[in-house]
């Protein structure tokens, strides 16, 4: 396995991708006019789990995100990484 020459750059990219995912998570919740508590009730989790995800207090587990998103009709999928410049078009 090739050793990464730029670990700080890689960490920043991963941090940005996680931030974008969480922003989408929050946007969807708000578009559905759901409070954190209502979403938690629908998903059968405690509100603090959603609070921790939205405040980036810990990295969410994939199964946790699926568990929370499923009752509102969403899931996670693998998609190409979009460059910031491409998103502005």
Cα angle value 44/49/52 (rounded, 5°):
160
Handedness of CA 2, 9, 65, 48 (dihedral sign): positive
Domain count across the chain: 1
**Cβ atoms of 61 and 51 closer than 8 Å:** no
- Asked if residue 63 belongs to a domain, the reply is yes
Tell whether 18 is covered by a domain.
yes
- Residue 89 counted as domain residue: no
**61 is a domain residue:** yes
88 inside domain: no
Residue 64 near residue 70 (C-beta atoms within 8 A): no
Q: What domain range is 75 assigned to?
A: 7-83
Return per-residue pLDDT of the chain as tens, 89 residues: 556 667 788 899 999 999 999 999 999 999 999 999 999 999 999 999 999 999 999 888 999 999 999 999 999 999 998 776 555 55
Residue 16 lies in a domain: yes
Please report, to the nearest 10 degrees, the dihedral formed by the alpha carbons of residues 53, 31, 70, 44 taken in order.
60
| 1 lies in some domain | no
CATH number (domain holding residue 54): 1.10.260.40
């Amino acid at each position: 396995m090739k050793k990464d020459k730029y670990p700080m750059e890689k960490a920043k990219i991963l941090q940005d991708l996680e931030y974008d995912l969480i922003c989408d998570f929050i946007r969807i919740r708000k578009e559905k006019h759901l409070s954190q508590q209502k979403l938690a009730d629908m998903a059968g989790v405690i509100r603090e789990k959603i609070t921790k995800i939205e405040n980036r207090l810990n990295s969410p587990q994939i199964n946790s995100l699926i568990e929370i998103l499923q009752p509102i009709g969403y899931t996670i999928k693998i998609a190409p990484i979009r460059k910031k410049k491409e998103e502005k078009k």
